[in-house]
Amino acid sequence: MPRHVAGRAAEAGNYRNGRIPSHLLCDVSFAAGQRLRCDAAVAIERLNVAFRAAFGRDLAVRDSYRSYEAQVAVAASKGALAAPPGTSNHGWGRAVDLSGGIQYFGTAEHRWMVANAGVHGWNHPEWAGPGGSKPEAWHWEYGTAG
């Protein structure tokens, strides 16, 4: 990983959840308007290359970094399904919500993610699995334990 990417990711850790300045986040090139912590952005770019080779299309990123205010709005609309504002991995810039088939358990796309995302540092947390406390096939995290 380039030194400037690692440096920006480390500097982002100096800020509170949902308060990371935009200059410390990186664009996801294939998903307009989506931003992540820079190390997570590099990792999802690599994951996308593999996904595109398998499916002939890009990953469909529905949501990525969430400011604290965005977390408040999500919590207001989704209730207990959302993490309490200030605790979401979206607020650290290391979580994505995906669609394009990945949002459903058992699809070819979801099975591919389960088998391949870990190689690129992405995982589907246990709580989001089919038997988890908040089943969310679409939610994936970078650099966290499964």
Cα dihedral sign, 69-75-77-81: positive
Per-residue pLDDT, averaged over 96-104, amounts to: 98
Is the Cβ–Cβ distance between 140 and 98 less than 8 Å?
yes
With a cut of 80, say whether residue 134 has pLDDT above it.
Answer: yes
| Domain residue spans of the chain | 3-142
What is residue 80's predicted lDDT score, i.e. its pLDDT?
Answer: 85
Percent of the chain scoring above 70 in pLDDT? 97
At the topology level, CATH places domain 3-142 in Muramoyl-pentapeptide Carboxypeptidase; domain 2 (3.30.1380)
pLDDT digits (tens, 9 = 90+) for 54-72: 999 999 999 999 999 999 9
pTM: 0.94
Q: DSSP of 73-107, one letter per residue? A: HHHHHHGGGSPPTT--GGGGT-EEEEETTTTSTTS
